[in-house]
Structure 1
Amino acid sequence: MDLTLSSLVAAFATTFVLVTFLYKLLRHKEVSPKIPEPGFAWPIIGHFHLLAGNDRVPHKVLGDLADKYGPLFQMKMGAHQVLVVSDSQTARQCLNANDRALAGRPKAIASEHIGYNYANFGLGSNTPFWRDVRKVVVLELLSNRRVEALRRFRESEAKTFVQDIYRTWARDKINESNVVKLDMKEWFGKLIIDSMLHLLFGHRYEEVGGWVKEVFRRNFELLGMFIVGDYLPWLRWLDIGGYEKAIKENTKEMDRVMEDWLQEHKRNRNSKSKEEEDFMDALLSQFVSNTDILNGFDADTVVKATCTAILAASTDTTSATLTWALSLILNNDNILEKIQGELDNNVGRERHVNESDLSNLIYLQAVIKETLRLYPPGPLLMPHESTEDCMINDYRIMKGTRIWINASKIHRDSSFWSDPNAFKPERFLTKYKEIDFRGNNFELIPFSSGRRMCPGMSLALQSVQLGLANVIHGFDIKRVSDELIDMTEAFGLSVSKATPLQVLLTPRLPSHLYL
């Protein structure tokens, strides 16, 4: 009898504990927040169809979804879960509070080929190799010390740029009106590519600039595409759309030229003085003497991968920002006159703009800041991947989740920015004066933030400010007609202007400054 009673008590106690556990588990499941998700997922491919083949740029498609499902929602992209972030507070959670956990980069077909099997530090994940290569790049090219040391080089490039435009004007001007018609999208591309080729490899635009423009623009297009094999790996072998074939062909052409330059630098290393060395020379010295950095790669591969990373990141993005800035200026009355007035007051008309002038050009800085707000170089920041479980806004984010941060949507958030779609540089002289893009104000993150923030921000800003200041100081510029300039965005990882920027120019400085 006692045994039966004991058995009943034990059974009752066990049942009670089990029921209590199940109740709490089910109750927790009911109240546990679930991340919003668009309802029109297809079997197997999930939400892939919303982006692949869409005739609208991805950041706008995702922005519309954010309006419906909120600033944080998830999508099933084939075999992968993707978290889409569209507000500054959640971006802060990702890039600050969870900076370490979300510092990974997802693997992708384009990254694999273009990045030399992830020897490209910008496309690789958060590893000691990535950190070591990044330190070398900052030391040799992007540190404040190096940026300042290269000041005269950038000033010389900007002056040559203005003189080249003047020579074209003198040759091709329309006699009756004394103006020349130019595509400034092409000219800005030439300025940045020429500067970076000289800085990185000792070459000039006239030698290989056209090739660089085409190959690296294509790279950005391919890196920004939604390729089926990235999201449905078991279908990669089919190469639907032929994208992997195109990537391989483009990469083969890129590597052929990089290999030629590398061998040229190896042959000439001992005949160069320290002052004559370029970035590729510096990398050769660093990686040949410090093989511990290489993480199993050979030194040649890391040199080529690092140089292509810098060249790709600096050319298309910087020239696109210059193009967007001038387009916005010409589409908005009186902005050009205000910039020229500031330049005349601080520089005058008897010399070119120097970098020492830039800190006094407060209105020009506001124009560039507003340009980066409306047209960030990468409207969708480079994707992140969680390397461990973490919490974002009370949601549990599992290891392996991909994170897309929609900077374009954040920059146009009407709950923070007044009249968010309007071009108003003055906002950064008044209400938003303290807002900056150096990674602390998450309402404005054109260069991202945290440990994966763009290390070339200072160099890019100097190039944009100096290039824009010199062309506006040196020329009166007008639209070719009364119609506003077309602001259609092209597809790609870096979103550039889809159409040319045709303008009419005439010199506004004394002729001896152009000679």
Structure 2
Amino acid sequence: MVAIFLYLSLTLLIFLVAIKLIVKIRTTRRKHLPLSPPSLPIIGHLHIIKKPLHRTFHALSQKYGQIFSLKFGSQLVVIVSSPSAVEECFTKNDIVLANRPPFLLGKHPGYNNTTLSQSSYGDHWRNLRRISTLEIFSNNRLNMFSGIRRDEMKHLLQNLSRNSCLGFAKVELQSILLEMTFNSIMRMVAGKRYYKYGEDVKDKEEARQFRQIIKEITRLGGASNPAEFVPILRWMDYKGLEKKLKSLSKRTDELLQALIDEQRHKEEEGNTMIDHMLSLQKSQPDYYTDQLIKGLILVSALNSASCLIEKTRVTTKEVDIDEGSGITMPKAMPLEAMCKAHPIMHKLLSKSMDDV
């Protein structure tokens, strides 16, 4: 009986939603929208969206022009591929287009859409932009961390040189560049290495958790989740997306809070980004809250690269350039190359990177 009741309730709900949408479509004044393919009720154009998204958009642009519109469920989307139109969108009309849709990724790991990358345009976003520009990414502060970047580059080159000193060795480029980038960023943010080529990954469990969190955020993010655009699918938690994001959010918050508490316990004796934010928190505790600091850490980590090395291809086959899933559009098959250290690398790496 319970199953029958739930089935009838769901059927009635779908029927009512469909009726409401049909009435709204017929009574709402038609907007002057760009050309659009035929759509379906409720889901709009989601049925024609295939991964990778940019290839789908390119194919549609060949038929509907460089500016066309789509309906992702209840969300109107305008696709712009004309360079001149894109420039106009991000100059003359940047404020009009500055808001972000309220995705589940922003609601849960993104602290209810309050991080710099998820917050809609307004006073809060402008304050976050000011903090990032003046307090985190200013030339002065970046110059203070130049030693960290040189040191991480030296670690990467030493690792590659060690593995290829006797001849060409296979190297998977995505992982080593990711390791160097994240180690550099997290040393600036929290004074820690989290990836394996670094020689002093002290807390291996914490490092493992961080790597897993970043991997899950990039995998679950993006605009290809139907539950982000169709209210009924979100209500049903289609494919358990919201459940996964809630769990991810809890683990992310616990890790970031632990980093802040650790630096606070040291009384900001270091020179990391967290130390600087905690010093500002003392003078403005109502604004520089722990949640704001955690949001800045998360954005820094997610927005987180060339080697002085001779390379050759692993095989004579064409390089597989198929794209994988996620907000960073990774390659489905990571790029591999054969690397060999030049003789001069041994001399360079024996010196301080200041001399390189």
| TM-score with structure 2 setting the length | 0.81
Distance 2:211 2:343 in 1: 31
Is contact 2:210-2:255 (8 Å) kept? Answer: no
Specify the SS of the correspondent of 1:245.
helix
C-alpha deviation, 1:149, in angstroms? 3.3
Is contact 2:35-2:64 (8 Å) kept? Answer: yes
Q: Which residue of 2 aligns with 1:344?
A: none
Alignment of 1:31-430 (within 5 A): 34-39=33-38, 41-51=39-49, 54=50, 56-169=51-164, 178-205=167-194, 206=201, 207=204, 208-270=206-268, 272=269, 276-291=270-285, 293=287, 299-314=289-304
Q: Which residue of 1 aligns with 2:322?
A: 488
Bigger shift: 84-93 or 220-229?
220-229
C-alpha deviation, 1:210, in angstroms? 4.5
- Report the residue type matching 2:185 in the other structure: M
Distance 1:477 1:34 in 2: 49
Is contact 2:227-2:241 (8 Å) kept? Answer: no
C-alpha deviation, 1:262, in angstroms? 1.3
Q: Which residue of 2 aligns with 1:8?
A: none
Cα deviation per residue 1:428-464 (whole Å; 9 max; x = unaligned)?
A: xxxxxxxxxxxxxxxxxxxxxxxxxxxxxxxxxxxx3
Distance 2:62 2:79 in 1: 12
Distance 1:258 1:278 in 2: 14
Cα deviation per residue 1:321-343 (whole Å; 9 max; x = unaligned)?
A: xxxxxxxxxxxxxxxxxxxxxxx
Distance 1:94 1:187 in 2: 36
Specify the SS of the correspondent of 1:114.
coil
Distance 1:69 1:257 in 2: 46
C-alpha deviation, 1:61, in angstroms? 0.3
C-alpha deviation, 1:265, in angstroms? 1.0
C-alpha deviation, 1:49, in angstroms? 1.4
Specify the SS of the correspondent of 1:226.
coil
Specify the SS of the correspondent of 1:236.
helix
Distance 2:151 2:89 in 1: 41
Structure-2 change in CA distance of 1:210 and 1:504 (3 Å): farther
- Report the residue type matching 1:185 in the other structure: Q
Distance 2:333 2:137 in 1: 31
C-alpha deviation, 1:221, in angstroms? 2.2
- Tell me how many residue pairs correspond in the alignment: 312
Structure-2 change in CA distance of 1:228 and 1:487 (3 Å): closer
Bigger shift: 284-293 or 183-192?
284-293
C-alpha deviation, 1:196, in angstroms? 0.9
Alignment of 1:11-30 (within 5 A): none
Listed as ranges, the gaps of 5+ residues in structure 2 are 1-28, 195-200, 351-356
C-alpha deviation, 1:484, in angstroms? 2.6
Q: Which residue of 1 aligns with 2:23?
A: none
After superposition, the CA RMSD in angstroms is: 2.2
Distance 1:67 1:117 in 2: 37
Q: Which residue of 2 aligns with 1:418?
A: none
Give percent identity, aligned residues only: 26
Task: Name the structure, 1 or 2, with higher relative contact order (CA <8 Å, separation 6+).
Answer: 1
Q: Which residue of 2 aligns with 1:512?
A: 347
Specify the SS of the correspondent of 1:96.
coil
Distance 1:227 1:221 in 2: 11
Q: Which residue of 1 aligns with 2:7?
A: none
C-alpha deviation, 1:137, in angstroms? 1.8
Is contact 2:148-2:187 (8 Å) kept? Answer: no
Structure-2 change in CA distance of 1:268 and 1:63 (3 Å): same
- Report the residue type matching 2:341 in the other structure: P
Distance 1:84 1:131 in 2: 26
Q: Which residue of 2 aligns with 1:441?
A: none
Distance 2:349 2:185 in 1: 23
C-alpha deviation, 1:242, in angstroms? 1.3
Specify the SS of the correspondent of 2:132.
helix
Distance 1:168 1:250 in 2: 36
C-alpha deviation, 1:288, in angstroms? 4.0
Specify the SS of the correspondent of 1:120.
coil
Is contact 1:132-1:293 (8 Å) kept? Answer: no
Structure-2 change in CA distance of 1:34 and 1:130 (3 Å): closer
Specify the SS of the correspondent of 2:267.
helix
Is contact 2:160-2:341 (8 Å) kept? Answer: no
Listed as ranges, the gaps of 5+ residues in structure 1 are 1-28, 315-463
Is contact 1:121-1:130 (8 Å) kept? Answer: yes
- Report the residue type matching 2:149 in the other structure: R
- Report the residue type matching 1:93 in the other structure: E
Cα deviation per residue 1:363-410 (whole Å; 9 max; x = unaligned)?
A: xxxxxxxxxxxxxxxxxxxxxxxxxxxxxxxxxxxxxxxxxxxxxxxx
Alignment of 1:467-482 (within 5 A): 468=306, 471=307, 473=308, 475-482=309-316
C-alpha deviation, 1:45, in angstroms? 1.0
Distance 1:47 1:288 in 2: 50
Cα deviation per residue 1:249-306 (whole Å; 9 max; x = unaligned)?
A: 2222222211211110110125x1xxx3200111122234224546xxxx11111111
Q: Which residue of 2 aligns with 1:500?
A: 334
Structure-2 change in CA distance of 1:305 and 1:240 (3 Å): same
Specify the SS of the correspondent of 1:81.
strand
